[in-house]
Homo-oligomer: A and B are copies of this chain.
Amino acid sequence: MFQLNENFQKLPGSYLFSTIGKKVNAFTQANPDKKIIRLGIGDVTQPLAPAIIEALHKAVDEMAAAETFHGYAPDLGYEFLRSAIVSAYKERGCDISSDEVFVSDGAKSDSGNIQEIFSVNNRIAVCDPVYPVYVDSNAMAGRTGVYNKETEMWSNVIYMPCTMENDFVPEFPKETPDIIYLCLPNNPTGTTITKEQLSEWVNYANKVGAVIIYDAAYEAYISEDNVAHSIYECEGAKTCAIELKSFSKNAGFTGVRLGYTIVPKELKSGDVSLNAMWARRHGTKFNGAPYIVQRAGEAVFSMEGKAQLKEQVAYYMKNASEIKTGLKDAGYTVFGGVNAPYIWLKTPDGTTSWEFFDYLLENANVVGTPGSGFGPSGEGYFRLTAFGSYENTLAALERIRKL
Contact = CB atoms under 8 A, between A and B. Distances in A.
A66 interface: yes
A291 B256 contact: yes
Interface stretch (A102-110, A324-332, A363-371): A102-110
Contact of A257 (B2, B66, B179, B290): B290
A16 interface: no
Contacts of A105: 105, 257, 286-287, 289
Interface string A283-317: 11111111111000000000000000000000000
Interface in A1-25: 1-6, 8-9, 11, 14
B290 A5 contact: no
Q: Which 8 A-B pairs have the closest CB atoms?
A: A112-B285, A1-B209, A3-B119, A43-B71, A2-B178, A108-B287, A71-B254, A70-B255
A234 B210 CA distance: 51
Q: How many monomers of this chain does the complex have? A: 2
Interface string A13-54: 010000000000000000000000000010111111010010
A403 interface: no
B284 A112 contact: yes
Contact of A117 (B8, B11, B60, B281): B8
Contact of A208 (B1, B112, B179): B1
Contacts of A43: 71-72
A69 B56 contact: no
Interface in A160-185: 178-179
A211 to B, nearest CB: 5
B72 A287 contact: no
B69 A45 contact: yes
A140 B269 contact: no
Contacts of A211: 2
Interface stretch (A93-101, A191-199, A219-227, A272-280): A272-280
A63 interface: yes
A80 interface: no
A248 to B, nearest CB: 8
A45 B105 CA distance: 23
A121 interface: yes
Given A6-B119, A72-B255, 18 more contacts: A2-B118, A3-B118, A4-B118, A5-B116, A5-B118, A5-B119, A14-B284, A45-B71, A46-B66, A46-B69, A47-B63, A48-B63, A48-B69, A50-B64, A66-B389, A116-B140, A257-B287, A293-B293
A122 interface: yes
A212 to B, nearest CB: 10
Contacts of A70: 255
A395 interface: no
A4 B269 contact: yes
Given A69-B48, A140-B284, A3 B272 contact: no
Nearest to A286: B109
B48 A64 contact: yes
A57 interface: yes
A389 B67 CA distance: 11
A257 B9 contact: no
